[in-house]
Amino acid sequence: MKKIGILITLILSTFFRLNAEEGMLIPSLIKAFESDMQAMGMKLTADQIYSVNNSSLKDAILHFGGGCTAELVSSEGLLLTNHHCGYSQVQSHSSLENDYIKYGFWAKNKEQELKNPGLTAARIVRIDDVTISVLNGTEGLTGEAFEKRLKENMKVLENDAVTGNHYKAEIKAFNYGNDYYMVVKEVFTDIRLVGAPPSSVGKFGGDTDNWVWPRHTGDFSVFRIYAGKDNKPADFSADNKPYSPLHFFPVSVRNRVPGEFTMVYGFPGSTEQHLSSGHLEYIQNKERPARISMRDKSLAAINASMASSDLLRIKYASKQARIANGWKKWIGQIGGLQSVDAIQIKLDREKAFNDKAATKSEWKEKYGQLVEQMNALVAERKDDDFAYAMDVEYIFIGAEMFKRCRSINKLIGEYETLKELGELSDEIEKYKKGSKSFFKDYDNPTDRKMFTALTDEYKKQVVDFSFSKYLSTRTSEELAKDIYEGSVLTDETKFNEFLDNLDENSIEEFKKNDQAYLLWKELFDHFVTVVIPKSRDFDAQMNGMLKIYVAGKMEMFPDGKHWPDANSTMRISYGKMEGSAPHDGMQYLEHTTLDGLIAKNQTGKSDFDLLPRMKELAAKKDYGGYDQDGDLWVCFTSSNHTTGGNSGSPVIDAEGYLMGLNFDRSWESTMSDYMFDPNRCRNITVDIRYVLWIMDKYADAGHLVKEMTLIKGDSPYEANSGSCSEKEKKCKRKKRRCKQKCKK
Ligand code: ARG
Ligand code: GLU
């Protein structure tokens, strides 16, 4: 009852209306936001968005591979997600003869669709608030006893939920454990690849354009869910049938109108809106800059190698993309947080929190000291967190030689057991295979450059590295010489010889003398025994306080818009299609077109390379009717609060039709993981009309478009979208066929 009360007050509050676009809302609570969404133009009811008893939009949205979102667009299980989400599947089916990465792949019929072992797509059956049951019997318990009871309760609830059905259930903490929800899902395991555009479409703009607006990326790929005869999940079988969904999205090819309602419905991974001012200050001014500096070093080494030869460019392309994606996002985040002065905003909010707490003795006792304590904890313990971040960057993201050490450490640790079980030679064969694929994309001199530069940077950042005999007594060059010229781990031939002659003696010898292994062992042992426990303890203490802080915000500011941080569960964010003005004197429009894509190509930069077909179609302006007033829209922005994991999420219009696929945010808005600024935070979507055009005109896969339900005609917004004379003027200006009929 209390919760419902809070939600109702929410809707009535003005504060909430001003911040209509912030927040990632729990679908099962969406009723509380229905009227506000409708006030923004939405024509749907809460029940059409989320319902347990009837089919609803949620049934057409799947958690794809655990890290992305995908949506159903046909009665035969046709599934859309981003190109970068299906990338590893496309890559796994590619070879030099069939280079699907470069030229794309399109199954001409269902027989040609390709299976993907290990890939899953999960439909959410229901999301239940189980807070009371999870906390049952935990009153008065603390520490381990509390955790134990909590886990037992969860186990019972999860087991009950899946008894007698084929579902899976998982309980997750929300709001740092103020709430618990159980997510019941149906997990499909036969997901086949149907199509993917060439990288020159799906990854157009590459790293140059990543996190950047204006954008022209056709970031989509196409899959199909197959199910058993009973339409339930089944592992791959030739007898499986295309899945018949409870709901699939009709696709809107109507004209878009700036300001129209948009909703993003998907699986955002993680946000941290509640961090204290001191905590944010530490992240913004110390932790992130240090991680960026580490990656500057790796990227400098990798980029130089990639520029030096085609072979190295190919070898390091995906590693470079992985390192650069986070690096570029963080730079954008810091810029955004600085320009809105996020720390000052946090300080002001903390003051308001403290002032409010001072108004009631009960609040004063519960919440009066909290802000100060959180900031004190950061001041006292930030080094523990920092050590963790630096070790992750150095040992796990940095030089790949460390990765080899980790893997060989496992083998020699299991040597005796494997020998006893008679499984040694099989295991060695596996390692040989693994090493083949590792060394295929490895370059000793590049890794050495990375190692040397990162070692110096790591020492500079952590300052006290006395725990490491190696780092304290040797220079990075000395270490690099021993490691990259002497270790068996940095040379494929030596490594295979080592595997071929593996026995007790060679292992002893290796453990005593291999300089790569010895350095890694020293660092890794320190990481496991000292760094991890300390950083976990810091997190546990901080999360305990954040739990009370969030409870305090909800109790003392019932009129604020409260939403739980993203945690990879299904969420809804609503907003409108709009541009932004993130820099003084500059305005971003809300959409881009094929003309802009061609203009980027004409700069000659390799990230904007195109295959000839695109240039031919563009030159002919052969838009196949997917244009808007003579322009083919490629991407658009809207003010929906999104984060990593929202990739592939459907962007849905006022009537529940698919407008496009979310795939990125603009650079200026990546700060929204910490603080959402309605003036600048925009998500980036590839327009579904561009997706259809690529399928239909570019890839000759019109049979897929025929499978979908296309919504044509006038959008409900069009009547108000500017006067007739304005439209005519625009058409004349563009000297293009103008299909816009003027309605008086
Ligand atoms: N920035 C997007 C995301 O975080 C897209 C990443 C893939 N694209 C790229 N050029 N690396 O996942
Ligand atoms: N590209 C991101 C993803 O893979 C989405 C971008 C973002 O962080 O908003 O989920």
Question: Atom 4 of ligand 2 has which residue's CA nearest to it?
Answer: 647
Distance (Å) from CA 174 to ligand 2 centroid? 21
Q: Indicate the pairing of strand 78-81 with strand 168-174.
A: unpaired
Instruction: Quote the strand ranges of 20-167, DSSP E.
Output: 61-64, 68-72, 78-81, 105-106, 114-115, 121-129
Distance (Å) from CA 83 to ligand 1 centroid? 10
pLDDT the model gives residue 731: 53
Ligand nearest to the CA of 663: 2
Which tens digit of pLDDT belongs to each residue from 125-142? Answer: 999 999 999 999 999 998
Name the residue of 85, 325, 608, 685 to mutate for ligand 1: max ligand atoms within 8 A of Cβ.
325
* Residue in 211, 272, 339 with CA at minimum distance from that of residue 670: 211
| E strand or H helix at 425 | helix 424-440
Question: Atom 9 of ligand 2 has which residue's CA nearest to it?
Answer: 643
Ligand nearest to the CA of 202: 1
Which residue has better confidence, 233 or 316? Answer: 233
pLDDT above 80 (res 741): no
For residue 662, the ligand 2 atom closest to its alpha carbon is: 5
Bond preceding residue 650 cis, omega within 30 of 0: no
Q: Which amino acid is at 536?
A: R
For residue 269, the ligand 2 atom closest to its alpha carbon is: 10
Distance (Å) from CA 177 to ligand 1 centroid? 31
For residue 620, count CB atoms less than 10 angstroms from its CB and return exposed for 0-12, middle for 13-18, buried for 19 or more.
Answer: exposed
Ligand nearest to the CA of 649: 2
Distance (Å) from CA 217 to ligand 2 centroid? 13
Quick check: CB of 207 below 6 Å from ligand 2?
Answer: no
Q: Give dist(CA 381, CA 278) in Å, integer.
A: 12
Percent of the chain whose predicted confidence (pLDDT) is above 70:
94
Distance (Å) from CA 95 to ligand 1 centroid? 23
Quick check: CB of 643 below 6 Å from ligand 2?
Answer: yes
Quick check: CB of 663 below 6 Å from ligand 2?
Answer: yes
* Residue in 48, 58, 381, 325 with CA at minimum distance from that of residue 211: 325
Name the residue of 663, 672, 683 to mutate for ligand 2: max ligand atoms within 8 A of Cβ.
663
CB 353 within 8 A of CB 367: yes
Name the residue of 64, 91, 201, 664 to mutate for ligand 1: max ligand atoms within 8 A of Cβ.
664
Q: What's the rounded mean pLDDT across residues 469-474?
A: 96
Distance (Å) from CA 572 to ligand 1 centroid? 21
Distance (Å) from CA 489 to ligand 1 centroid? 31
pLDDT the model gives residue 560: 86
pLDDT above 70 (res 448): yes
pLDDT above 90 (res 97): no
Question: Atom 8 of ligand 2 has which residue's CA nearest to it?
Answer: 644
CB atoms within 10 A of CB 686: 31
pLDDT the model gives residue 727: 55
Which tens digit of pLDDT belongs to each residue from 4-18? Answer: 444 444 433 433 333
CB atoms within 10 A of CB 106: 20
pLDDT the model gives residue 718: 77
Q: Is the dihedral of CA 448, 450, 455, 460 positive or negative?
A: positive
* Residue in 280, 6, 303, 50 with CA at minimum distance from that of residue 183: 50
For residue 633, count CB atoms less than 10 angstroms from its CB and return exposed for 0-12, middle for 13-18, buried for 19 or more.
Answer: buried
Name the residue of 220, 639, 643, 685 to mutate for ligand 2: max ligand atoms within 8 A of Cβ.
643
Which tens digit of pLDDT belongs to each residue from 535-590? Answer: 999 999 999 999 999 999 999 999 888 999 999 999 999 999 999 999 889 999 99
Q: Give dist(CA 126, CA 28) in Å, integer.
A: 8
* Residue in 415, 407, 470 with CA at minimum distance from that of residue 434: 407
Between the two ends of the chain, the Cα-to-Cα distance in Å is 50
Q: Give dist(CA 264, CA 271) in Å, integer.
A: 16
For residue 68, the ligand 2 atom closest to its alpha carbon is: 10
Total count of residues recorded for the chain: 744
Instruction: Quote the strand ranges of 73-215, DSSP E.
Output: 78-81, 105-106, 114-115, 121-129, 168-174, 179-188, 190-196
Quick check: CB of 576 below 6 Å from ligand 2?
Answer: no
**Share in percent of the chain as helix, strand, coil (round to 5):** 55, 15, 30
For residue 645, the ligand 2 atom closest to its alpha carbon is: 10
Which tens digit of pLDDT belongs to each residue from 636-682? Answer: 999 999 999 999 999 999 999 999 999 999 999 999 999 999 999 99
pLDDT the model gives residue 321: 87
Which tens digit of pLDDT belongs to each residue from 459-468? Answer: 999 999 999 9
- The ranges assigned to domains in the chain are 23-119+189-267+573-626+646-711, 121-188, 277-552, 714-744
pLDDT the model gives residue 8: 40
Quick check: CB of 664 below 6 Å from ligand 2?
Answer: yes
Quick check: CB of 644 below 6 Å from ligand 2?
Answer: yes
pLDDT above 80 (res 83): yes
Ligand 1 contacts (CB < 6 A) are: 84, 203, 206-207, 210-211, 321, 325, 644, 647, 664
Which tens digit of pLDDT belongs to each residue from 11-52? Answer: 334 333 334 579 999 999 999 999 999 999 999 999 999 999
Name the residue of 82, 84, 204 to mutate for ligand 1: max ligand atoms within 8 A of Cβ.
84
Question: Atom 11 of ligand 1 has which residue's CA nearest to it?
Answer: 321
Quick check: CB of 665 below 6 Å from ligand 2?
Answer: yes
Distance (Å) from CA 316 to ligand 2 centroid? 22
| E strand or H helix at 497 | helix 492-500
Which residue has better confidence, 14 or 193? Answer: 193
Catalytic residues: 84, 219, 647
Ligand nearest to the CA of 665: 2
Ligand nearest to the CA of 84: 1
Question: Atom 3 of ligand 1 has which residue's CA nearest to it?
Answer: 664
pLDDT the model gives residue 460: 97
Distance of CA 262 to the CA centre of its chain: 20
Distance (Å) from CA 210 to ligand 2 centroid? 10
Which residue has better confidence, 742 or 70? Answer: 70
Q: What's the rounded mean pLDDT across residues 472-483?
A: 97
CB 684 within 8 A of CB 212: no
pLDDT the model gives residue 11: 38
Quick check: CB of 647 below 6 Å from ligand 2?
Answer: yes
Q: Give dist(CA 43, CA 545) in Å, integer.
A: 41
Which tens digit of pLDDT belongs to each residue from 290-324? Answer: 999 999 999 999 999 999 988 898 888 878 988 99
Distance (Å) from CA 607 to ligand 2 centroid? 19
pLDDT above 70 (res 614): yes
Q: Output the furthest CA–CA distance in the chain (Å, rounded).
A: 91
Distance (Å) from CA 675 to ligand 2 centroid? 16
Question: Atom 2 of ligand 2 has which residue's CA nearest to it?
Answer: 644
Residue 91 is encoded by which pair of tokens? 């890559």
Quick check: CB of 646 below 6 Å from ligand 2?
Answer: yes
